[in-house]
Amino acid sequence: MVMLRLTAEQYCKLPVMVKEETCIGKTYIITGGNSGLGLETARHLVAASAECVVLAVRNLEAGEVAKNDIEKTTGRKEVVQIRHVDMSTYASVQSFVTKITAELDRIDGFICNAGVMLDTWSQSEGMETSIFVNVINTVFLGALMMPKLQESATKFNIKPTLVFIVSVLGYIAKSEMDKSRNGVIFDGLNDQKRANMDQRYALTKLVEECAVRQLAALCPVERTGVVINMVAPGLCSTGLGHDARTFNKIMHEALRAMMARTAEEGSRTILHGLVAGEDSHGKLLSGCKIKEFWVPTWLTNQEGQKLQRGIWDELVFRLESVQPGCISQLK
């Protein structure tokens, strides 16, 4: 059902929901801001008079190319800044957070956008890479940024937004998820023999959504002053999956040729995430609207809630052992 809804939505024209009044004087950070949706989101924010837009990238040269491109197309210089973050190691995320929180006075929006679609097995920090990058380190980064976002909320009387980029494709990964829901979930996800790598990307997005729902529940906006939401940008033509095996690549290209948004159109959904406000806290956004009714009941019912809590508890255990206090301080 949700895939039918998504297909229909692909053809809708989306509004650009930021303008000068929304962005003037504001600071935004976008991980993976050098390409695809991140780059186009950054370009919109710069064009809409943001004061500072930080592209957090793993490849500084690619970051510089993106910066020059944005400056050329918007005519605005000294707005874009490039910082290094490699989402495949804990240490890089920790170092990025330490530096950026010291450097910046305020943060109005933080977009956890960097992600990978891998269909061959590899590992980072002892975990299958796409689970590590798209879920574990993304949640780690979001959690580590919370104190600075809270500080910005209090200091400037604003409601900063922490946006995670998910995908409704996650909802097709139920059977892959079921393989790992009994026992230690992340051990199951890290079992190469059990993994169907053709569905791995979708699975990472499902697990990410479960974790972010728990994070948002732990950090109510009334207490923290920070809005946490999840944007599903729809199918977009970007560099995602460029490393996939030939067959998967051909399948994706065919699907994209039929119904994909451009990266610029897709970025409009992320801009919506930034301005959606308190009502969007802990919710799924798609097509520039709150789409909680798209979330399947097997995720919202008792079993789904149990799965969500299980994923969260294991993540907390893992992340607290990397940096004690990183999650417990959020309470």
Ligand X SMILES: NC(=O)c1ccc[n+]([C@@H]2O[C@H](COP(=O)([O-])OP(=O)(O)OC[C@H]3O[C@@H](n4cnc5c(N)ncnc54)[C@H](OP(=O)(O)O)[C@@H]3O)[C@@H](O)[C@H]2O)c1
> Which residues contact ligand X by CB under 6 A?
32, 34-38, 58-59, 62, 85-88, 113-116, 133, 165, 167, 233, 235-236, 238-240
Q: How far is the CB of 201 from ligand X (least distance, A)?
A: 7
Please give the Cα distance from 23 to 60 (Å, whole number). Answer: 25
Strand-pair partners of 54? 29, 81
Report the residue number, 153 or 168, with the smaller CB distance to ligand X.
168
SS3 label, residue 242: coil
Nearest to 258 by CA among 7, 6, 3, 14: 7
153 or 271, CB closer to ligand X?
271
Query: Around 168, how many Cα atoms within 13 Å sit in the side-chain half-sphere?
Result: 25
Q: One of 88, 130, 201, 291 is an active-site residue; which one?
A: 201
Known catalytic residue: 11?
Answer: no
Given the residues 26, 67, 205, 291, select the one marked as catalytic: 205
CB 26 within 8 A of CB 49: no
Nearer to ligand X, 74 or 113 (CB): 113
Taking the complex as a whole, the smallest distance from the CB of residue 200 to ligand X amounts, in Å, to 12
Catalytic-residue membership of 167: yes
Cβ proximity to ligand X, 169 vs 299, nearer residue: 169
Catalytic residue among 35, 88, 167, 267: 167
Instruction: Assess contact for 106 and 159: CB atoms under 8 A.
Output: no
Q: What 8-state DSSP symbol labels residue 291?
A: -
- What minimum distance in Å lies between the beta carbon of 5 and ligand X? 15
Helix ranges restricted to H, 119-173: 129-131, 137-156
HSE-CB for 244 with a 13 A CA cutoff: 20
Nearest to 203 by CA among 112, 119, 313, 286: 119
Nearest residue to the partner ligand X, using Cβ: 36
Structure tokens at 201: 């990307």
Query: Which helix (H) or strand (E) covers residue 289, if one does?
Result: strand 289-290
Annotated active-site residue 201? The verdict is: yes
Taking the complex as a whole, how short is the minimal distance between the CB of residue 156 and ligand X, in angstroms? 28
The amino acid at residue 98 is T
As measured in angstroms, the least distance from the Cβ of 97 to ligand X is 14
Q: How far is the CB of 62 from ligand X (least distance, A)?
A: 5
Nearer to ligand X, 32 or 109 (CB): 32
Name the residue nearer to ligand X (CB basis): 84 or 179.
84
Distances, alpha carbon 255 to alpha carbons 6, 7, 231, in Å = 13, 11, 21
Residues classed as catalytic: 167, 201, 205
